[in-house]
Amino acid sequence: MNQSLDIMTAVGAAAAIRDGTMTVEDFARGCLQRMAAREDVLKAWAYVDPAAVLRQARELDKTPSLGALHGLPIGIKDIIDTRDMPTCHNSPIYVGNRPSGDAPLVETLRAAGALIIGKTETTEFAAAGRDPSTRNPFDPTRTSGGSSAGSAAAVGDGQIPLSIGTQTGGSTIRPASFCGVHAMKPSWGTISREGVKVYSLTLDTIGLYGRSIADLDLLAEVFGIGEKQQIPASVSGLRLAFCRSPEWEATEPPMREAFARAEDILRNAGAHVSTLDLPEPFNGLPAAHKTILFREGRTAFLNLYRAHHEILHEDFRHRVENRDGFTDQMLVAAYDLAAHCRTRFDSIAAEYDAVLTPSAPGEAPKGSGAGNPALNHMWTLLHAPCINVPGLKSAAGLPLGITVTGSRYADRQLLAVASAIDQAIAAAI
Amino acid sequence: MNQSLDIMTAVGAAAAIRDGTMTVEDFARGCLQRMAAREDVLKAWAYVDPAAVLRQARELDKTPSLGALHGLPIGIKDIIDTRDMPTCHNSPIYVGNRPSGDAPLVETLRAAGALIIGKTETTEFAAAGRDPSTRNPFDPTRTSGGSSAGSAAAVGDGQIPLSIGTQTGGSTIRPASFCGVHAMKPSWGTISREGVKVYSLTLDTIGLYGRSIADLDLLAEVFGIGEKQQIPASVSGLRLAFCRSPEWEATEPPMREAFARAEDILRNAGAHVSTLDLPEPFNGLPAAHKTILFREGRTAFLNLYRAHHEILHEDFRHRVENRDGFTDQMLVAAYDLAAHCRTRFDSIAAEYDAVLTPSAPGEAPKGSGAGNPALNHMWTLLHAPCINVPGLKSAAGLPLGITVTGSRYADRQLLAVASAIDQAIAAAI
């Protein structure tokens, strides 16, 4: 593989394809080579058909540009329906499952010229049950994080420029932190989640991975989220709030150091840095998240419990039987608290250009577990856009991500601010 | 067809099958005969394969009872995926579309022994665009209402005992009112909507049709919604609030008379009847509903706009292009108002055993349009359970339904109260 291909951003590759300096086939071939070379160690992929990928790549080379993603390889999390590949949810119930059509989000990607290169490994139903076997690109004894394990690892490892994940707790942002990848969980409801396995309608959100903030902005544009914003020349003068969130106790020393380091870097670069302590009601959000997750999960997995009881993983039986006893009153209280805090967080966030918070408790843990979503689930429940800015690393050389978040639907403004933050951090390390 | 079959409730038929006094095949054959005899006039069905239905019926006759719905024929709205029948959404884009699997709710029905008898006509994507050709069982020059046109008409016409619809505006309850059918829109999130075409995640809700309140209760039980409640011996002593809602101006004289008649009947039967005027913020709910509907519809139909632009109906282009200019600020305000009113309505409704409100502006209109959802959309947005109690009729003999509603997740309590109300109205007319 041409060494440059594995660090080429999606925006850069799109330009090279458009200008005729690189063919779709060459880029796809480079990606496939890197995927094949690394798969034994990384195990990012649930399904790839190299011959079919190259056939489509050659077709795209012969086709006038379909759109902004023309010829760009994209990995799709294996809980998302694809018309030409299996969708197996890492579940024994769905072995060999062949959906008859693309999920709408996949159809939108194809309509913009994307090359769907394969299906990425996932935690079972992006929820619980079976872990993926995916490993961390920086240390194969460690997890890539879940549930969007393969999507994060494949981009983090330089195999592909773009991928799609999902987030219900912390399933996009946490793996991005562990794998050192730029990622975004957009505001709730901005990308169709039809044709994607449901866990919780209130929480499930499509997630985006790329090699730069501009790559994420490119995907946001394709999905019709907001309008392109001017990127600030620098962080100088930006109002940035550092928020430890109610889950700060879950953080470990390497993340605490990285978070302090980010604050120093951005202050030194001229940002107006302040500390944000969220008001008392926000302390109830972690419990509200769990109540909603488990009660909506009861609805989501009922059919599997009834029709595939013997092979359904214990974790899902647990939810359907409501073994933790979440009551209707608890569910209503959780919905109402979340709604209250959404309004308040919009007001709070409006006073800043961005709110920054840790993307994960610390380094990727050993093994193949999903990792602790404590630092992410609150923001998922708030429906707020979250962007993972990588770049910082622990003493051991492992990635530690910072989440840039803000008001609902400020996605594109936040991407512009995150771009300036990303540049400042990259310049300082 | 045995004349009694077309008025046999699902509960009654289930008992007859269980007791061996009726075979599944006999019941299915009776339903198919009535369907065939009436289809030219009523046009309720998008797809039926009588031979396959009878084959499955005979299988069910040979099988020990699978559950509470063993052998009961159920019609499925044609925006819901079925593994053995096409799912076409009344859209030219989906002609002949064959999903590879059942929607989870269909799998849950089958696991309880249900016989999926066919797919029912729908407004395009249960949203806008093309009207179904379905006519009203009481007057074929009139509409059955939409979007769950065929599901309501087939049950209202005595063709089948049970069917499944959906509601995003008023698509379950309004056709029930027009067709004189018992129907329920449960609390939001209580039945999986995976494998069902998405219009609005905040509003889309699965709807149930049956021949009695007990039939609806049977379906609620199968879907694991709440717990069975004792039915009051009569309405005597029940606290019933008559609520004209902010959309009262949309009602026509026949409904106004029916609503007053219901109040008289229930008062005379001993209920404590009162008038409920909702507080001022509720007046904003109709506009909030439209904002959410159109903005979430923009997300839902983006892929069709991009990939099937030429044959996509103008109504959906309208939404994707956001021609009405609904802003992010309007969307946030709509979400927040809805959340505020949900909490308040729960408190208000807790003071009564049920809140009653009209199910439609009046009689089914001439033609084949969906009808005006003004009397329904507020309750959909509130996520409140709604039950249509039929029985009342206009001077012209056309059905006029009353909605029985209440707090979120009070579904089974409300079904018990609705049963008493239903009996009181049936006894008085």
Asked if pLDDT for residue B1 goes beyond 70, the answer is no
Higher pLDDT, A367 or B118: B118
CA B110 to CA B91: how far, in whole Å?
A: 26
Average pLDDT taken over every residue of chain B? 97
Which H or E run contains B210? Answer: strand B205-210
Confirm whether B295 is domain-assigned: no
Confirm whether B108 is domain-assigned: yes
- Token digits for A204? 């499930």
Which chain A residues touch B307 with a CB distance below 8 Å?
Answer: 107-108, 110-111
pLDDT in tens, B23-82: 999 999 999 999 999 999 999 999 999 999 999 999 999 999 999 999 999 999 999 999
Q: Are A156 and A251 part of one and the same domain?
A: no
Whether residue B108 and residue A408 make contact (CB cut-off 8 A), yes or no, is no
Whether residue B343 and residue A328 make contact (CB cut-off 8 A), yes or no, is no
Give A165-210 as a 3 state SS string.
Answer: EEECCCCCHHHHHHHCCEEEECCCCCCCCCCECCCCCCCCEEEEEE
CA A176 to CA A399: how far, in whole Å?
A: 9
Say how many C-beta atoms besides its own lie within 10 A of residue A93's C-beta.
Answer: 16
Q: Are B255 and B167 part of one and the same domain?
A: no
Backbone phi and psi for residue B316, each to the nearest 5 degrees, phi listed first:
-85, -30
- The 8-class DSSP code of residue B376 comes to T
Asked if pLDDT for residue B3 goes beyond 90, the answer is no
Whether residue A199 contacts residue A296, with contact meaning beta carbons closer than 8 Å, is answered with: yes
CA A408 to CA A338: how far, in whole Å?
A: 13
Q: Are B157 and B205 part of one and the same domain?
A: yes
CA B149 to CA B139: how far, in whole Å?
A: 14
Given B91, B144, B147, B245, the catalytic residue: B147
Closest by CA to A362, choosing from A370, A372, A351, is A372
- Token digits for A8? 């080429």
Which chain B residues touch A299 with a CB distance below 8 Å?
Answer: 189-192, 224
What average pLDDT does this structure show over B351-367? 97
The percent of residues in chain B predicted with pLDDT above 70, rounded, is 99
CA distances in angstroms from A159 to A18, A426, B36, listed in the order given: 21, 21, 58
Whether residue B164 contacts residue B126, with contact meaning beta carbons closer than 8 Å, is answered with: no
* Structure-token match 């008493």, residue found: B420
- The 8-class DSSP code of residue B386 comes to E
CA A20 to CA B100: how far, in whole Å?
A: 40
Which residues of A are known to be catalytic? Answer: 77, 147, 171
Q: Are A249 and A144 part of one and the same domain?
A: no
Asked if pLDDT for residue B195 goes beyond 70, the answer is yes
B325 Cβ contact partners less than 8 Å away, ≥ 6 residues apart: none
Given B91, B148, B163, B171, the catalytic residue: B171
3-state secondary structure of A29: helix
Which chain A residues touch B111 with a CB distance below 8 Å?
Answer: 303, 306-307
* Structure-token match 């209109």, residue found: B365
Q: Tell me the nearest-neighbour CA distance from B223 into chain A, angstroms.
A: 8
Minimum CA–CA partner of A339 in chain B:
B339
* Structure-token match 């399904």, residue found: A47
Indicate if B77 belongs to the active site: yes
3-state secondary structure of B301: helix
Backbone phi and psi for residue A183, each to the nearest 5 degrees, phi listed first:
-150, 160
The bridge status of strand A399-405 relative to strand A354-358 is antiparallel
B169 Cβ contact partners less than 8 Å away, ≥ 6 residues apart: B203, B289, B293, B373, B376, B377, B380
Helices in B74-212 by DSSP H: which ranges? 104-111, 149-156, 173-179
Closest by CA to B422, choosing from B361, B346, B354, B348, is B354
Whether residue A307 and residue B331 make contact (CB cut-off 8 A), yes or no, is no
- Give me the residue from A105, A201, A336 closest to B189, CB to CB: A201
A119 Cβ contact partners less than 8 Å away, ≥ 6 residues apart: A45, A46, A47, A48, A75, A76, A77, A78, A80, A82, A85, A86, A87, A88, A150
Helices (H) and strands (E) in chain A, counts: 13, 13
Whether residue A111 and residue B197 make contact (CB cut-off 8 A), yes or no, is no
Closest by CA to B311, choosing from B130, B133, B134, is B130
Asked if pLDDT for residue B2 goes beyond 70, the answer is no
Asked if pLDDT for residue B338 goes beyond 80, the answer is yes
The residue of A80, A302, A337 whose CB has the most chain B CBs within 10 angstroms, and thus the best one to mutate to test that interface, is A302
Confirm whether A176 is domain-assigned: yes
Please give the ipTM for the structure prediction: 0.97
The bridge status of strand B182-185 relative to strand B205-210 is antiparallel
Q: Are A218 and A338 part of one and the same domain?
A: no
pLDDT on residue A4: 66
- Please tell me the number of Cα atoms within 13 Å of A71 on its side-chain side: 30
Q: Are B213 and B251 part of one and the same domain?
A: no
Say how many C-beta atoms besides its own lie within 10 A of residue B7's C-beta.
Answer: 10
Is A335 exposed, middle or buried (CB count within 10 Å of its CB: 0-12, 13-18, 19+)? buried
* Segments forming the whole domain that contains residue B421: 239-283+330-428
Confirm whether A212 is domain-assigned: yes
Whether residue B198 and residue A194 make contact (CB cut-off 8 A), yes or no, is yes
* Structure-token match 């052998």, residue found: B71
Confirm whether B229 is domain-assigned: no
A151 Cβ contact partners less than 8 Å away, ≥ 6 residues apart: A44, A75, A76, A77, A120, A163, A164, A165, A175, A207, A209
What average pLDDT does this structure show over B158-175? 98
pLDDT in tens, B259-312: 999 999 999 999 999 999 999 999 999 999 999 999 999 999 999 999 999 999
Which chain A residues touch B346 with a CB distance below 8 Å?
Answer: 332
Confirm whether A323 is domain-assigned: no
The maximal CA–CA distance of chain B, rounded, in angstroms, is 61
Minimum CA–CA partner of A307 in chain B:
B111
Which chain B residues touch A104 with a CB distance below 8 Å?
Answer: 300, 302-304
**Terminal alpha carbon distance of chain B:** 28
Q: Are A132 and A277 part of one and the same domain?
A: no
Closest by CA to A119, choosing from A184, A65, A43, is A43
Minimum CA–CA partner of B296 in chain A:
A189
Which chain B residues touch A85 with a CB distance below 8 Å?
Answer: none
Indicate if B147 belongs to the active site: yes
Whether residue B302 and residue A104 make contact (CB cut-off 8 A), yes or no, is yes
Helices in B117-268 by DSSP H: which ranges? 149-156, 173-179, 213-222, 253-268
Helix then strand then coil, % of chain B, to nearest 5:
45, 15, 40
- Give me the residue from A198, A306, A408 closest to B332, CB to CB: A408
Q: What single letter denotes the amino acid at residue B350?
A: A
Backbone phi and psi for residue B49, each to the nearest 5 degrees, phi listed first:
-120, 90
Domain harbouring A411, CATH code: 3.90.1300.10
The residue of B301, B303, B317 whose CB has the most chain A CBs within 10 angstroms, and thus the best one to mutate to test that interface, is B303
- Token digits for A61? 């080379």
Residues in a beta bridge with B5: none
- Give me the residue from A111, A198, A335 closest to B194, CB to CB: A198
Minimum CA–CA partner of A292 in chain B:
B189
Whether residue B202 and residue A192 make contact (CB cut-off 8 A), yes or no, is no
Minimum CA–CA partner of B411 in chain A:
A328
Closest by CA to B405, choosing from B163, B167, B131, B233, is B167
Q: Are B184 and B250 part of one and the same domain?
A: no
The residue of B97, B192, B225 whose CB has the most chain A CBs within 10 angstroms, and thus the best one to mutate to test that interface, is B192
Q: Domains in chain A: how many in total?
A: 2
pLDDT on residue B4: 67
Q: Are A370 and A263 part of one and the same domain?
A: yes
3-state secondary structure of B135: strand
B21 Cβ contact partners less than 8 Å away, ≥ 6 residues apart: none
pLDDT on residue A370: 86
CA B266 to CA B238: how far, in whole Å?
A: 9
pLDDT on residue A278: 98
Query: For chain A, which ranges sit under pLDDT 70?
Result: 1-5
Residues in a beta bridge with B208: B164, B184
Residues in a beta bridge with A356: A242, A404
Whether residue B198 and residue A191 make contact (CB cut-off 8 A), yes or no, is no
Confirm whether B323 is domain-assigned: no
Q: Are A215 and A259 part of one and the same domain?
A: no
A357 Cβ contact partners less than 8 Å away, ≥ 6 residues apart: A242, A243, A244, A245, A375, A379, A402, A403, A405
CA A105 to CA A85: how far, in whole Å?
A: 15
Q: Are B196 and B246 part of one and the same domain?
A: no
Whether residue A296 and residue B189 make contact (CB cut-off 8 A), yes or no, is yes
Q: Are B33 and B181 part of one and the same domain?
A: yes
Closest by CA to B262, choosing from B238, B234, B242, is B242
Size of interface A-B (CB pairs under 8 A): 123
Whether residue A192 and residue B343 make contact (CB cut-off 8 A), yes or no, is no
- Please tell me the number of Cα atoms within 13 Å of A202 on its side-chain side: 30
Confirm whether B234 is domain-assigned: no
Out of A222, A248, A273, pick the residue that ends a domain.
A222
